[in-house]
Structure 1
Amino acid sequence: MIPFSDFSNAIETETIYSFGEVHTFYKFFHEELEVAHIASQSEANVLILGETGTGKEIIARSIHEASNRKDGPFLPINAGAIPKDLVASELFGFTEGAFTGARKGGAAGKFEAAQNGTLFLDEIGDMPLELQSVLLRAIESKKITRIGDTNERQVNARIIAATNHDLEKEMEEGGSFRADLFYRLNVLSITLPPLRDRPEDIRLLARDFLQKFHERYENGPTAMEEEAILTLLSYDWPGNIRELKNALERAFLLAREERSPIRLKHFPPSIRRTKNKKKTEDLSLKKMEKERIQLALQRSASVQEAARLLGIARSTLYRKLKEYNLA
């Protein structure tokens, strides 16, 4: 059994790159987080790209909280979750009687509500094409007009947008996203890597999530069996960080009920099947460990760096190298 506190204790803190709530050992993620830091010190529009579950809203919120707008509101709006005929009223507001069912006295939209703060437009790729030109004008002019009104209102909201779509491809092929809006939003672009590209972060993320679960539930398991950890490292995580968090919370609660360490059986079947598949392919846990070490060595310039990526002490790695006869 491995205590949660030992998941990454062999890695010196200076190897961790952090921005806001985001922490990583993955060196290719460093550059993207550096762009996020630069974005926080500017007023430029930001476009965050990445698969579902990679933490786009967390990055957006971190940019806001590190900026000079941190005392203003951070308002997220999911352009893909709002009915098509309500997107405009959500963004720009409406006057009394503007449409059937409009609230008495009207209401301000998100642009006005985010005054002196940040408006986070999530899933911007799902915004209806006919509303994209209106959004573009609001971003360029910093003025909006409520539905049913004729008066323009000055707004001061910083725009951060995010999508899991390939907007450049959509501009070229289907024309479902306006090029002028894309270039207006894409002043600073940040691409978040999927979790399968940064397996060295899984232990760190797991430790942080499990510590938060302890704070929330006040008690629970404090260790995880090695078999479960190795399976987490070998799983592809199609749902990325969100899937990892949900799987860990499930495992934490089941183990908490049993008053036991977290075991492989506590994870969802889709993750447990990863181990079964490896078995049918005659891949033992030892072979999985050997392959992970070989991958870390390929991605590292030294044994010390490889140990950091694996989250183990350098002496442990030397022992493993000798055990597996690896140069």
Structure 2
Amino acid sequence: MSHDRTNKLLPRKDARTIFEAGILLSSFDSSSVIERSHHRAIPHAVFHSLYQQLQASANLSPYEFSLIRDALIHLLQNSSLPLLPLSLSTTRRSSALQTDPIVPAFRHTSHSVPNWKSLLFAWAEYSQEYLIALSDERVVLFANKRAQERFSLVEGLVLESDWEQDRLTNCFLEELDLGEKTWYRLFFIRPCTSALSKTASSYSFSEIHTNSPLYHDQLHTARIAAQSLSNTLLLGETGCGKEVLARAIHSSSSRKDGPFLAVNIAALPRELIASELFGYTEGAFTGAKKGGQPGKFEAANGGTLFLDEIGEMSMELQVLLLRVLEERKVTRLGSHEEKSLDIRIIAATNRSIEEEVRNGQFRADLYYRLNVLQIRIPPLRERKEDIATLADEFLQQLHTQYACGPTGICESALAILQQHSWPGNIRELRNIIERAFLHAYSDSWLTSHHLPSEWQQQYGLQEASGEPLPLLRELERQTIQQAITQAPSISAAAKKLGIARSTLYRKMEELGIG
């Protein structure tokens, strides 16, 4: 199946993405692919079909539900763009989503469009998220059951300007961008300490698996940082796990019950960084919200603020940040009132910050304030003994999520993974394993054939037939023996290795480990 258009990912604030232009999002076998010539034969009742499937969401897998929800969100964002869902397979439990300009838009469907509140209700009740919709005047237009019970919200209630500060203890509002066409604003109410899908306990040091002496040394420093009150600077390439380590430090510190907020300086428009960090009052600038808005420093009070890509901060903002760190007070834009802070800063950068200080591109006094404890996270190419463990951990997570798919990685595939230089580090490894998992969905093992085809040519390895690669087998044996020796039980050893206990028993039998 060939496509002549470039894929474009539509960004989502809740970390999901959907394809916006003309290609299969995911397909687990060739039988689920429908050729372009058949597109015109698909019924036009797209919206009606999606809504019915969402209402029946109890029978859908998480993967299928996410596809349907993404399609509906896409409709809310821009109802003029057509979406074409392929039918959900009842035999393979596979599904796919396509878009194509030749398909009539949603407004051409002959079925009645369900009320948008019913749509939000079906979505929110399945996902168990706190979801509210507000008018520009901050009138509650919709609140799902969980939000009503937890935050005493009812339709028609007008939220005062200080409602977030008074009622959202350790929570914050995250707005979903619906474009400029809607007359309401949609918000998630998120816990500050669990912005990601993991639970707070998942960000402990015990969840960071490594066999690398280099990283073990740095983790020792990180544990010291967790027991201190000092600011900490994390150094490492993009994708090496700086935020995961920052969260582990927070979760193991005396501030673990307080909020953890992460701000990526590089991801914010330069003109918005100050208002995001320090907050603003009503009328501080054109477009300022009625009642103003607290900044990240205030929101993280009593907890930890993680400033990622700190090297991207302008010199003007560095002066303001230095003042906050020295005086432990923050002033909103447009105000003269100072608010006291009890906050711990963890900063991170992928730049050579010392060189930037020497070149006058980063303030030396701010560098010394942030760099009380320094932790360098080694890139994945310097800790290749972790590749097999991490790859298996990601594979087991995917298998648990989908309740099927491959459960093991063959040695020829591991050999290719060991040879790659991993410029994207752990983030790239996770992406490659997830892609390979989807290609190997109906198989028991993930093989080299499921990895990118150019890698097979580049690294010159063919699928192993018969005996496994001896050096890799010995490396795996040593890693497992070391984990079993150091752990008090098999369950603890499996947890240390990042694999299921049943997987560890199977590997012990294969490797002849008593």
Q: TM-score range by the shorter chain?
A: 0.7 to 0.9
In the alignment, residue 85 of structure 1 is paired with which amino acid?
Answer: E
Q: Is the 8 A contact 2:392 2:408 kept in 1?
A: no
1:146-167 CA distance string (max 9 Å, x none) = 0000111111111000000000
Rounded Cα–Cα distance in structure 1 between residues aligned with 2:349 and 2:225:
17
* Secondary structure at the counterpart of residue 395 of structure 2: helix
* Secondary structure at the counterpart of residue 293 of structure 2: coil
Structure 1 residue 19: Cα displacement: 2.1
1:271 pairs, out of 455, 477, 481, with: 455
1:154 equivalent in structure 2: 340
1:215 pairs, out of 384, 400, 405, with: 400
1:63 equivalent in structure 2: 249
Structure 1 residue 290: Cα displacement: 7.3
1:124 pairs, out of 288, 306, 310, with: 310
Rounded Cα–Cα distance in structure 2 between residues aligned with 1:271 and 1:62:
34
2:440 equivalent in structure 1: 255
2:201 equivalent in structure 1: none
Rounded Cα–Cα distance in structure 1 between residues aligned with 2:454 and 2:428:
11
Q: Is the 8 A contact 2:392 2:409 kept in 1?
A: no
1:24 aligns to 2:210 (yes or no): yes
Matched positions, count: 283
2:409 pairs, out of 199, 224, 227, with: 224
In the alignment, residue 161 of structure 1 is paired with which amino acid?
Answer: A
1:39 equivalent in structure 2: 225
Q: Is the 8 A contact 2:406 2:444 kept in 1?
A: yes
Rounded Cα–Cα distance in structure 2 between residues aligned with 1:155 and 1:261:
52
Rounded Cα–Cα distance in structure 1 between residues aligned with 2:423 and 2:472:
19
1:106 aligns to 2:292 (yes or no): yes
Change (3 A) 1:80 1:305: closer
Q: Is the 8 A contact 2:235 2:350 kept in 1?
A: yes
Rounded Cα–Cα distance in structure 2 between residues aligned with 1:157 and 1:212:
34
Structure 1 residue 273: Cα displacement: 4.0
Change (3 A) 1:244 1:270: farther
Rounded Cα–Cα distance in structure 2 between residues aligned with 1:306 and 1:226:
15
* Secondary structure at the counterpart of residue 446 of structure 2: coil
Structure 2 unaligned blocks of 5 or more: 1-203, 484-496, 498-506
* Secondary structure at the counterpart of residue 375 of structure 2: strand
Rounded Cα–Cα distance in structure 2 between residues aligned with 1:179 and 1:291:
48
* Secondary structure at the counterpart of residue 125 of structure 1: helix
Structure 1 residue 269: Cα displacement: 3.9
Higher relative contact order, chain-length normalized (CA < 8 Å, sep 6+): 1
Q: Is the 8 A contact 2:395 2:408 kept in 1?
A: no
* Secondary structure at the counterpart of residue 319 of structure 2: helix
* Secondary structure at the counterpart of residue 189 of structure 1: strand
Rounded Cα–Cα distance in structure 1 between residues aligned with 2:293 and 2:456:
49
Rounded Cα–Cα distance in structure 1 between residues aligned with 2:459 and 2:266:
36
1:136 equivalent in structure 2: 322
Structure 1 residue 304: Cα displacement: 6.1
1:94-144 CA distance string (max 9 Å, x none) = 000101100000000000000111000000001111100100110111101
Q: Is the 8 A contact 1:234 1:274 kept in 2?
A: no
Change (3 A) 1:20 1:61: farther
Q: Is the 8 A contact 2:250 2:304 kept in 1?
A: yes
2:351 equivalent in structure 1: 165
1:76 aligns to 2:262 (yes or no): yes
Bigger fraction of residues in helix? 1
2:488 equivalent in structure 1: none
TM value normalised by structure 2: 0.51
TM value normalised by structure 1: 0.79
Greater C-alpha radius of gyration:
2
* Secondary structure at the counterpart of residue 24 of structure 1: coil
Rounded Cα–Cα distance in structure 2 between residues aligned with 1:270 and 1:73:
44
Moved more, 229-238 or 263-272: 263-272
Rounded Cα–Cα distance in structure 2 between residues aligned with 1:306 and 1:64:
30
Alignment of 1:166-245 (within 5 A): 166-173=352-359, 175-245=360-430
In the alignment, residue 426 of structure 2 is paired with which amino acid?
Answer: I
1:273-317 CA distance string (max 9 Å, x none) = 4323x79xxxx99xx9678799x8xxxxxx9689859x998x979
Rounded Cα–Cα distance in structure 1 between residues aligned with 2:449 and 2:473:
25
Alignment of 1:285-304 (within 5 A): none
1:90 equivalent in structure 2: 276
* Secondary structure at the counterpart of residue 201 of structure 1: helix
Rounded Cα–Cα distance in structure 2 between residues aligned with 1:270 and 1:111:
46
Structure 1 residue 259: Cα displacement: 3.2
In the alignment, residue 148 of structure 1 is paired with which amino acid?
Answer: G
2:235 pairs, out of 49, 73, 78, with: 49
Structure 1 residue 233: Cα displacement: 1.1
* Secondary structure at the counterpart of residue 99 of structure 1: coil
